[in-house]
């Protein structure tokens, strides 16, 4: 009847979608640690290969209506990337509420621009594939170039290794701390960390003949009697690190150590590290180390960092508290 009062129905509170974390074969140990920090068990997923190597992924529990986090570093072999794409597609077809691709290491990030004729931009291609497969969000760490985030049309949470590197550097208590950028492209990253410590920085300017081969290198800045910390995102063959460390020592540095986020460490990397003047090479566990690592290689765990990022993404909270490199010590 017109004009009759209508009683308002009881409004039910919005329920948070359930969270489930699954691992690809390339990040099982890290995923287990993330789940331990989060207080849950990794989800059940079956990843099998046919005789010819073709991959098949199957979720062995219901994920309908769940916010699904798929953890997989896309390091070599390329099967890890294909596996992640199939996991995303399977989750989408299983009616997941949201699909978050968690890539501690984002492979192909070094191919971020067309720096010579007739080459692919691999990092853009990977971004397109992740989005096309059905990812709603990406969580990653220390992209080779921060602007790669712009290759995505979905949200990207870009974590920073300074959250684990800065506490490690603080406990070293180095007297004449100076930071070194392994190339000109790393200067912004190094400048922020050097500013945090009110420390100086130098640059190792290098020129390459081709990938993984350095033609020449010079040091810009004074390193005499300094304790040098080189910071970089990727160590592949470790040839750059070994050469930079040797050059810094020749120029009068008292000690040289390197902190690198992603330990790709291929080819003669272990041999290069063992034979270098580096005091130590400190890496994050975004990629599992291959057997036989020299004693100089130390690993920092990032499970806490990713567990908090996953929790905040699930609860729609900011991840700003995970970034400490812009906070000066004297504030």
Contacts of 105 (CB under 8 A, 6+ apart): 73, 74, 75, 140, 141, 262, 286, 287
What 3-state class would DSSP assign to 93?
A: helix
Can you tell me the distance from the alpha carbon of 25 to that of 83, in angstroms, rounded to the nearest whole number?
8
Query: Active site residue: 124, 206, 226, 243, which one?
Result: 206
Can you tell me the distance from the alpha carbon of 95 to that of 112, in angstroms, rounded to the nearest whole number?
33
Check: CB of residue 29 under 8 Å from CB of residue 286.
Answer: no
What 3-state class would DSSP assign to 133?
A: helix
Show the CA angle centred on residue 73, arms to residues 168 and 83, nearest 5°. Answer: 165
Locate the DSSP E strands across the chain. 19-23, 45-49, 55-59, 67-71, 98-103, 137-141, 156-159, 177-181, 200-210, 213-220, 227-235, 255-263, 281-284, 297-300
**In the numeric block, which tokens belong to residue 320?**
């700003």
How buried is residue 211: exposed, middle or buried, by Cβ count under 10 Å (0-12/13-18/19+)?
A: exposed
For residue 267, what is the DSSP state?
T
Can you tell me the distance from the alpha carbon of 133 to that of 89, in angstroms, rounded to the nearest whole number?
5
Q: Which residue has the tokens 């010590």?
A: 329
Is 173 a known active-site residue? no
Q: Which residues are marked as active site?
A: 206
């Amino acid at each position: 009847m017109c004009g009759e009062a209508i009683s308002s129905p009881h409004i039910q509170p919005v329920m948070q979608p359930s969270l489930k974390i699954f691992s690809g074969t390339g990040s099982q140990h890290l995923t287990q640690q993330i789940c331990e920090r989060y207080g849950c068990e990794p989800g059940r997923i079956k990843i099998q290969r046919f005789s010819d190597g073709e991959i098949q992924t199957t979720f062995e529990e219901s994920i309908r209506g769940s916010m699904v986090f798929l953890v997989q570093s896309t390091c070599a072999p390329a099967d890890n990337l294909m596996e992640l794409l199939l996991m995303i597609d399977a989750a989408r077809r299983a009616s997941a509420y949201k699909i978050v691709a968690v890539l501690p290491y984002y492979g192909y990030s070094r191919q971020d621009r067309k720096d010579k004729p007739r080459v692919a931009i691999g990092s853009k291609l990977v971004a397109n594939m992740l989005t096309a497969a059905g990812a709603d969000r990406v969580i990653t760490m220390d992209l080779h170039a921060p602007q790669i985030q712009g290759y995505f049309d979905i949200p990207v949470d870009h974590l920073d290794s300074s959250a684990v590197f800065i506490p490690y550097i603080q406990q070293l208590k180095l007297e004449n701390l100076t930071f070194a950028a392994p190339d000109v492209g790393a200067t912004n990253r190094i400048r922020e960390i050097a500013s945090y410590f009110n420390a100086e920085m130098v640059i190792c300017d290098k020129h390459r003949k081709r990938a993984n081969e350095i033609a020449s290198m010079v040091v810009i800045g004074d390193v005499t009697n300094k304790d040098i910390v080189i910071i970089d995102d990727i160590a592949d063959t470790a040839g750059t690190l070994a050469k930079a460390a040797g050059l810094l020592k020749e120029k009068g540095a008292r000690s040289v150590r390197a902190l690198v986020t992603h330990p790709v460490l291929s080819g003669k990397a272990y041999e290069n590290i063992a034979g270098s003047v580096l005091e130590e090479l400190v890496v994050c566990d975004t990629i599992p180390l291959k057997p036989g690592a020299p004693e100089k290689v130390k690993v920092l765990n990032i499970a806490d960092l990713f567990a908090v990022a996953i929790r905040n993404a699930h609860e729609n909270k900011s991840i700003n508290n995970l970034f400490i490199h812009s906070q000066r010590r004297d504030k």
